[in-house]
Chains A and B, each alone.
Chain A
């Protein structure tokens, strides 16, 4: 039996180590390890509850918007504001979050994943007159291979001209991401770490010039999604169609739902949302969610065993580095004790099986091209397709949200901080279901817990020994070349892991020079 260790997995957010045992080319066992302790929940104790909103954003510079949204919904509910956020505030929150999701999805497909499928070295021989490709050719010619290596060799399937075209789209995608970040900034103040989303609504007021400057950007991005992003995902799917059969994983999906379409419902689990809340299993039936059935196991994580199996409302973070049998800083969230995958696939599929006609009209024709039904969505390519369609669905909604804004009307509702309260904020981050829970005592944070998407997806074994979603997706995979385990990294990256902010220095040969711990 052979062992393959990929540490760190590059082109993801944060630091992830994947270790698999391979027998006759088949993965028999997989372990996913998050190797950095952050401790944000400990940092938050004793602070003013409003500060949670700003501090939790600093968990990550890629998805701070999702954290500010979850934290704000959590504080809204703790402060008794659910259902009284002005419409302008609700819509601006949707617009900021939507811009962040679009930026994230474009980032993931083009800049983190595409190079698993696209051979960038083909641009070295580019001879025509496209200015973008000439600049990439010259960049490579100077030996500046930074974003493109290290990489595996031997399974790049596109003809040269398609590879070159996709590299040109990679560069165009950088410009689109910049525009999406500018959109976050128009109503959020800045990106990363917006200042506008606060309990009670937002701080930025809508004006005609801001609406117009947002609108031309979103329309440009919609053109990009329709003409490049979606066709490029389908082009990858056509040439690498075997990846509809690879990396299925646990076939249990969970989505909290996202983008508020209704500002008056106080209970956020009952609020009407663009993406539906629920679960989907292999039978493609929609299940309802009871947020109190979420628990976190820590038997295989470096935390004290006394904290295992708890609900986030009762959760505690007591680090225990080097604990026997543990191999990760990631806890194991479970729903009803079962393993669930979260992410764009989950929110698209819950919305699909809930019978949403718009989503059906996007998914069915896309899959018909491959003569396949919705069951193939449980795969590497299913995740990429769901992400691209998710970007399109949100982008197509944004012009109407913009035009619903009413300049001059309030964006913010005042409130008092209660002496004691509890709150919960559930939202879909770009990478999936994100939950924040708060307990307030004496107007201070007594406890704060975040259960983030990559904790679900990259989780280690739970107390019952059930492997996490990524571990299950890797197990059973055939690895053609153990020196170049394309299959494994393509599966890992299809989840869009985001582990946030490890600081490692690595030599070109992969030797770790030094490690720093950020606690």
Chain B
């Protein structure tokens, strides 16, 4: 998509503050709960953007931090390719996850 890698090089999932829940398979059962939002439909594992790092509005907040999950608005093909928004994304092989940062 010819976007600068500095901002779009990594997946939301790679820098997500709720990543530890995912790794421990602790999934939120309903919106507003703590836990990983993947099973409620979070598109963080397929969306390339740096929202968890830069955050929004002067670093005040961002979608996953407010419990609202990532809807993949920075994905090519939004909204068709990332909807239904509130349904779990089909099991996917996550690129670049679990690789060593320094080779």
Tier of interface size on chain A: 20 to 34
Q: How many A-B residue pairs have CB under 8 A?
A: 87
In the complex, A153 has a CB within 8 A of chain B:
no
Q: A195-B71, A205-B32 are in contact. Are A190 and B83 (CB under 8 A)?
A: no
Residues of B within 8 A of A51 (CB): 79, 83-86
Question: How far does the Cβ of A506 sit from chain B's closest Cβ, in whole Å?
Answer: 27
Q: Return chain B residues, CB-CB under 8 Å to A191.
A: 56-57
Q: Does any Cβ of A come within 8 Å of B61's Cβ?
A: yes
Q: Does A189 lie at the interface of the complex (its beta carbon under 8 Å from any beta carbon of B)?
A: yes
The CA-CA distance from A181 to B69 in the complex, in Å, is 20
Nearest Cβ in chain B — how far from A195, in angstroms? Answer: 3
Q: In the complex, which residues of chain B have a beta carbon less than 8 angstroms from the beta carbon of A55?
A: 79
Residue B65 CB within 8 A of the other chain: yes
Interface readout for B42-84 with A: 1 if CB under 8 Å, 0 if not? 0000000000000011101111011111010100000100011
Known A185-B61, A189-B68: A47·B83 in contact at CB below 8 Å: yes
A188 touches B66 (CB 8 A): yes
Stretch from A156-164, A408-416, A508-516 that touches the partner = A408-416
Does chain B have a CB within 8 A of A343? Answer: no
Residues of chain A within 8 A of B57, CB atoms compared: 178, 181-182, 184-185, 190-191
Chain B proximity of A10: nearest CB distance (Å) = 26
Q: Are the C-beta atoms of B66 and A50 separated by less than 8 Å?
A: no
Instruction: Please determine whether B31 and A198 come into contact, CB atoms closer than 8 angstroms.
Output: yes
| CB proximity of A65 to chain B, nearest CB, Å | 13
Chain A residues lying within 8 Å of B86, measured Cβ to Cβ, are 48, 50-51
Closest partner residue, chain B, to A210 (CB atom): B61
Give per-residue flags for A176-201: 1 if the beta carbon is below 8 A from chain B beta carbons, else 0: 00100110111111110111101011
Q: Is the CB of B31 within 8 A of A203?
A: yes
Instruction: Say yes or no: B84 contacts A414, CB within 8 Å.
Output: no
Task: State A25–B63 Cα separation when bound (angstroms).
Answer: 53
Interface-central residue, B30, B32, B73, by most chain A CB under 10 Å:
B32
Q: Is A458 an interface residue (CB 8 A)?
A: no
Check B30–A190 contact: CB distance below 8 A.
no
Contact of A202 (CB < 8 Å), options: B32, B62, B69: B32
Is A299 interfacial (CB-CB < 8 Å)? no
Q: Which residues of B contact A203 (CB under 8 A)?
A: 31-32, 66-69
Chain A residues with CB below 8 A from B32, complex form:
201-205, 410-412
Contact of B62 among A187, A190, A198 (CB under 8 A): A190
Give min CB distance, B65 to chain A, whole Å. Answer: 7
Q: Which of B30, B58, B79 contacts A414 (CB 8 A)?
A: B30
> CB of A271 within 8 A of chain B?
no
Known contacts A189-B62, A190-B61; decide if A204 and B67 are in contact (CB<8 Å): yes
| CB-based contact B31/A178 at 8 Å | no
The docked-state distance in angstroms from the alpha carbon of A150 to that of B57 is 30
In the complex, what residue of chain B is closest to A53 when comparing beta carbons?
B85
Q: Which residues of B contact A48 (CB under 8 A)?
A: 83-87
Given A48-B83, A189-B68; A200-B31 close (CB under 8 Å): yes
**Which chain B residue has the least Cβ–Cβ distance from A203?**
B67
Bitwise, A3-18 to B at CB < 8 A (1) or not (0) is: 0000000000000000
| Whole-angstrom CA separation of A412 from B61 in the bound complex | 19
3 smallest CB-CB distances across A and B, nearest first, come from A195-B68, A189-B66, A203-B67
Q: Which residues of A line the B interface, CB within 8 A?
A: 47-48, 50-51, 54-55, 178, 181-182, 184-191, 193-196, 198, 200-205, 213, 410-412, 414
- Give B residues with C-beta under 8 Å from A: 30-32, 56-58, 60-63, 65-69, 71, 73, 79, 83-87
Q: Could you list 18 further interchain pairs (A-B, Cβ under 8 angstroms) beyond the known A50-B86, A195-B68?
A: A51-B79, A51-B86, A54-B71, A54-B79, A185-B56, A188-B66, A189-B66, A190-B57, A190-B62, A190-B63, A194-B68, A195-B66, A203-B31, A203-B67, A204-B67, A205-B32, A205-B67, A414-B30
